[in-house]
Structure 1
Amino acid sequence: MKKDADVIIIGAGLAGLTAAKLLKAAGKSVLVLEASDGVGGRVRTDEKDGFLLDRGFQVFLTAYPEAKNLLDYAALDLRTFDPGALIMSRDGITKLGDPLRQPATLLSTLFSSAATFSDKMRMLRLKLKLGKKSIEEIFRDEEITTTEYLKRAGFSGTIMNRFFRPFMTGIFLEEQLSTSSRMFEFVFKMFSEGDAAIPAKGMGMIPKQLAECLSANELLFYQNVSAVDEGLVTTASGATYQADFVLIATDPLRSPIRYGNTAVKFHSVSNMYFTAKQRPFEERLIALNALAGKLVNNVAVMDSISSAYSKNGDALISLSLIGDHSEANEKDLQEEVIAELKFWYPDAVNWKHLKTYHINYALPNDDHVSNEPEPNAIRLNAQCFVCGDYLMNGSINAAMKSGRLAAEAIINTMR
């Protein structure tokens, strides 16, 4: 059978596209098969009625080491959030900033009821501590839950409930903060050492940039792979492709190869978009809902960060609801969200619903994480390799690193 490429890559998410880019740079021929209609996997941006909608609220941390090496930040035209957050509580809204990076926020931060003065000093010490700690050291440390880590660090219940829990819930997509303390330290370090940003034209510009190296003949869409047998790949429609090596770059739920009977653990999220004539707030910050039993965890006004998200100038409001809400009645869910948010934003009753995304597999479970895949995890057999953030930790950085490591392993095998 005629060979279609040196390497067939199944999945055009960040891991697969990173591998494709590096394999091509090494002179290897590739064929990327993607089941959907576009690149990006869990990092995609749609356009609807003149608005740019990321599929799930996400931010890009510019301090990610893999991204620094593989992406052209200038071409992405990154637009940054200000460090800190707006805290929504029964007392109203208060601002918690980062005076080290934005001295003008010193007073609002000092007087914020979201944390005690001791908490603010502990936060400063934590930033300084992690600034001196390498990523390798972070992932070698003892693993405990994030909740236990913050308790051991002496943080009060006030800052736990009003800042850390809603902030980290929005990142980890789980409310108990059972996520590994290694992941907390890594993420906190990345936030402290770089910016939280979005490309001006949406998060989907990241995978599109990675895919620029691929021609139309090297990237095929609507290719739902059903079987992999050594170097032979078969799709659900019956098409077959042959290569020396196959790289499976899907999440484990969509992999054509099953990994025994082990249940795949993951976190879900629902992302709702509303439009409004006026922004609920003008700050370039994420608003965190600190109430117990809440429905909405965080709010972001996307056009405040990048005007390209809204062609007509109306506000584009992104809301994150942690967990699986796909079975809820859509109209009832919208009404519940507005009823909750109008406490802080009375004009929410006039917001217009635009679209809701229910994302089943949004992040892998990160109760146990690493910065390197387990030995032999990348290579399943002589001809089949795998990559994906779930092999290490749920992040853009890990997705890209896993793609790089898989590409390097294949290149070394071909020598």
Structure 2
Amino acid sequence: MKKDADVIIIGAGLAGLTAAKVLKAAGKSVLVIEASDAVGGRVRTDEVDGFLLDRGFQVFLTAYPEAKRFLDYEALDLCRFDPGAMILARKGISRIGDPMRKPGTLLSTLFSSAATFTDKLRMLRLKLKLSRKTIDAIFAEPEITTLAYLKKEGFSETIMSRFFKPFMTGIFLEDQLSTSSRMFEFVFKMFSEGDAAIPAKGMGAIPLQLAKCLSADEILFNQRVWAMEDNNVTTTKGAIFQGDFILIATDRLCLPMPLQQSVNAYHSVTNIYFTADKKPFELPLITLNSLPGKLVNNIAVMNNVSSRYSSNGDALISLSLIGDHSLTGEKELCASVIDELKYWYPEAINWKHLKTYHIPYALPNDDHVLNEPVYKNMRLNANCFVCGDYLMNGSINAAMKSGRLAAEAVINTMG
């Protein structure tokens, strides 16, 4: 049988695309086989009725080392969120900012009820501590839960409930803060040293930029690989492809036979989009719901950050609900969301539902995380490697890094 490429890559998410970029730069031929109709995996943007909808609210942290290595930030036309957050509480809405980076937020931060004055000093101390700590040093630390870590740092219950819990829940997609303290330190360092941003034309611009290294005959869409044997992969359409090496770049739920495994621990999210004539707020900030037992964890008006998200200027409101809400009827879910938010935004009763995304596998479980994949977990046999954020930690940085390291391992093996 004729060889189709030096390396067959299964999956065109960020890990697979980064691997393809590294392999091609080393002069290796690749064939990327993707089950869906476009690149991106969990990082995709749809256009619906003139609005850009990211599949799940995501932000891009500009301090990510792997992103700096592979992406052209200028071409992505990054639009930045303001540092800090708006906090929804029973007494109303307050703002917590980062006065070091945005001096104009000094007063609102000093007077915010979301944190005590001592908390604000502790936040500054934590920021300075992590600025002096390398990423390698962070991932070498013993692991405790994020909740235990924040308590150890001495933060009050006020800032825990009003800021850290909703903020980190929105990032980790779990509300117990059982995620590793290493992950907290890494993410907090990334937020402190760079910006939270989105590309002007949506998060999907990131994989599209990575995929520019591929020609049309180097990527196949709508072909799901269901089985592998030796150097061959077989798709559900019956096509067979052969390469010297196979690199699996799917998430853990989509591994081909005979590698399929039951995965119990991962995090889900539901993302609901509404439109409105009037924006609920004008600032390019994430809004956090600090109430216990809440349904909506965080809110963003996407066209406050990038005007390109809304072609007609109407507000595009993105809401994140942690967990799997797919069994609740859409109308019932939307009604519950509006009922919750009208306490702060009475005009919410006039918001128009646009689309709901249920994302069962949004992030791997991050109770234990690494900054380098274990080699034996990355190399399955003589000619088969795997990559993906689940081998390290749930982040864009880890997805790209795992793709790079797997590609480098293949190149070293090929000689």
The AA in structure 2 aligned to 1:190 is: M
Answer yes or no: is the 8 Å Cα contact 1:253–1:264 preserved in 2: no
How far residue 375 of structure 1 moved from its aligned partner, in angstroms, is 2.9
What CA deviation, in whole Å up to 9, does each residue of 1:145-178 have, x standing for no partner? 0000000000000000000000000000000000
How far residue 260 of structure 1 moved from its aligned partner, in angstroms, is 7.4
Aligned to 2:121: 121
Answer yes or no: is the 8 Å Cα contact 1:252–1:264 preserved in 2: no
Aligned to 1:394: 394
What CA deviation, in whole Å up to 9, does each residue of 1:100-122 have, x standing for no partner? 00111101000000000000000
Cα distance in 1 for residues equivalent to 2:263 and 2:296: 28
Aligned to 2:365: 365
| SS of equivalent to 1:354 | strand
How far residue 261 of structure 1 moved from its aligned partner, in angstroms, is 5.6
The AA in structure 1 aligned to 2:195 is: D
Aligned to 2:355: 355
| SS of equivalent to 2:155 | coil
Aligned to 2:280: 280
Aligned to 2:34: 34
Aligned to 2:86: 86
- 1:295 corresponds to 2:295: yes
Q: How does 1:199-238 map to 2 (within 5 A)?
A: 199-238=199-238
Aligned to 1:162: 162
Cα distance in 1 for residues equivalent to 2:262 and 2:252: 11
CA 36–260 in structure 1, closer or farther in 2 if over 3 Å, else same: closer
Cα distance in 1 for residues equivalent to 2:263 and 2:294: 29
Answer yes or no: is the 8 Å Cα contact 2:14–2:400 preserved in 1: yes
- 1:51 corresponds to 2:54: no
Cα distance in 1 for residues equivalent to 2:129 and 2:5: 48
Answer yes or no: is the 8 Å Cα contact 1:385–1:406 preserved in 2: yes
Cα distance in 2 for residues equivalent to 1:186 and 1:414: 34
Answer yes or no: is the 8 Å Cα contact 1:138–1:182 preserved in 2: yes
Aligned to 2:153: 153
* Residue-pair matches, total: 415
Q: How does 1:127-276 map to 2 (within 5 A)?
A: 127-257=127-257, 259=259, 263-276=263-276
The AA in structure 2 aligned to 1:78 is: L
Aligned to 2:15: 15
After TM superposition, the score normalised by the length of structure 2 is 0.99
Cα distance in 2 for residues equivalent to 1:145 and 1:182: 9
Cα distance in 2 for residues equivalent to 1:260 and 1:203: 29
Aligned-pair Cα RMSD in Å: 0.8
| SS of equivalent to 1:133 | coil
Identity, % of aligned pairs? 74
Cα distance in 1 for residues equivalent to 2:259 and 2:280: 46
| SS of equivalent to 1:380 | strand
What CA deviation, in whole Å up to 9, does each residue of 1:201-255 have, x standing for no partner? 0000000000001011001100110101121010011000010000000001001
Cα distance in 2 for residues equivalent to 1:223 and 1:354: 29
How far residue 374 of structure 1 moved from its aligned partner, in angstroms, is 1.4
Cα distance in 2 for residues equivalent to 1:262 and 1:145: 25
- 1:71 corresponds to 2:71: yes
| SS of equivalent to 1:250 | coil
Cα distance in 2 for residues equivalent to 1:81 and 1:146: 24
Q: Any gaps of 5 or more consecutive residues in structure 2? A: none
Answer yes or no: is the 8 Å Cα contact 2:245–2:384 preserved in 1: yes
Q: Any gaps of 5 or more consecutive residues in structure 1? A: none
Answer yes or no: is the 8 Å Cα contact 1:33–1:223 preserved in 2: yes
CA 348–77 in structure 1, closer or farther in 2 if over 3 Å, else same: same
How far residue 376 of structure 1 moved from its aligned partner, in angstroms, is 1.3
After TM superposition, the score normalised by the length of structure 1 is 0.99
Runs of 4+ in 1 over 2 A off after TM superposition: 257-264
How far residue 258 of structure 1 moved from its aligned partner, in angstroms, is 5.1
